[in-house]
């Protein structure tokens, strides 16, 4: 099931460096209400994308005609490979063309991206029972919520902690690529365990980073809307990866 997970991991490892994307004037607005407004926008877009992904994946899994478009007798079809690899291109486009793209363009790309991820995740409904998927989603939501709250409220600077996690993420990507050829079940479980730890920590780190960014945002500006979309993408990827790694432990096979 996790053979397609590396595409999501790679997406998260190359994106959202606020220094790279910064186009704001050097203005600090230390206003809690401004931070809450910005984070409300971020989480709203994230939840919308998750809903789109969930509906898309369930609908595709329940429609054999759509599944046959992605799966052939020998494995993934050409369209299936496009579905699996296209999200990488979308995130690269959003990341490196951030300054050129408008807020509307970023929003559309993000929503299409959530549909593509939903297509790729439709396979989990074939591999795992509906009950175990629902349970894993609930556990993921609780874990994500706790860590998001921790990242928002903690006074500890998580910058160095985040740097360590990003290095660990690079290592786990390499390990997953190696295991793609080795197909070691024990190594897959170890990778999944480390993956849960990494994305649990990254959730708190990303929320704290977004909270700091919120102090520089001015409501209604184009740049603020763009940052909200990229922030939503970052948290969306944390949630999806955490869910996939937890599913490896909690999912019951069909």
pLDDT in tens, 87-101: 888 988 998 899 999
Reported confidence tier of residue 253, pLDDT bands at 50, 70, 90:
confident
Q: List, for residues 188-239, the tens digit of each pLDDT value.
A: 999 999 999 999 999 999 999 999 999 888 877 899 999 999 999 999 999 9
> pTM score, two decimals?
0.88
CA separation for the pair 156, 114 (Å, rounded): 32
Domain that holds residue 93: 27-250
- Measuring CA to CA, which residue among 12, 19, 4 is closest to residue 168? 12
Percentage, residues of the chain above pLDDT 70:
88
Distances (CA, A) of 148 to 86, 128, 129, 183: 29, 28, 28, 34
- Measuring CA to CA, which residue among 175, 142, 199, 147 is closest to residue 13? 199
In a domain, 1, yes or no: no
Confidence at residue 8, expressed as pLDDT on a 0 to 100 scale: 56
Count up the domains in the chain and report the number.
1
In a domain, 11, yes or no: no
The residue with tokens 């909690």 is 250
CA separation for the pair 153, 139 (Å, rounded): 21
In a domain, 66, yes or no: yes
């Amino acid at each position: 099931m996790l053979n397609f997970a590396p595409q999501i991991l790679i997406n998260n490892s190359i994106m959202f460096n606020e220094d790279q994307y910064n186009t704001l004037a050097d203005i600090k607005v230390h206003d809690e209400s401004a931070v809450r407004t910005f984070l409300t926008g971020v989480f709203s877009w994230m939840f919308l994308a998750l809903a789109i992904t969930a509906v898309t994946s369930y609908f595709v899994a329940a429609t054999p005609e759509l599944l046959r478009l992605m799966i052939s007798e020998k494995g993934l079809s050409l369209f299936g490979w496009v579905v699996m690899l296209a999200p990488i291109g979308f995130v690269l486009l959003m990341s490196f063309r951030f300054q050129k793209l408008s807020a509307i363009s970023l929003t559309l790309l993000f929503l299409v991206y959530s549909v593509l991820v939903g297509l790729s995740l439709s396979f989990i409904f074939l591999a795992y029972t509906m009950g175990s998927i629902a349970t894993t989603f609930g556990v993921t939501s609780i874990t994500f919520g706790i860590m998001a709250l921790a990242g928002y409220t903690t006074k500890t600077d998580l910058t160095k902690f985040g740097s360590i996690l990003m290095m660990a993420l690079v290592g786990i990507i390499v390990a997953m690529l190696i295991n793609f050829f080795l197909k070691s079940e024990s190594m897959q479980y170890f990778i999944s365990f480390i993956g849960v730890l990494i994305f649990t920590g990254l959730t708190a780190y990303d929320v704290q980073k977004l909270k700091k960014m919120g102090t520089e945002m001015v409501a209604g500006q184009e740049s603020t809307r763009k940052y909200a979309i990229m922030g939503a993408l970052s948290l969306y990827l944390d949630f999806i990866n955490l869910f996939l790694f937890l599913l490896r432990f909690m999912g019951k096979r069909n």
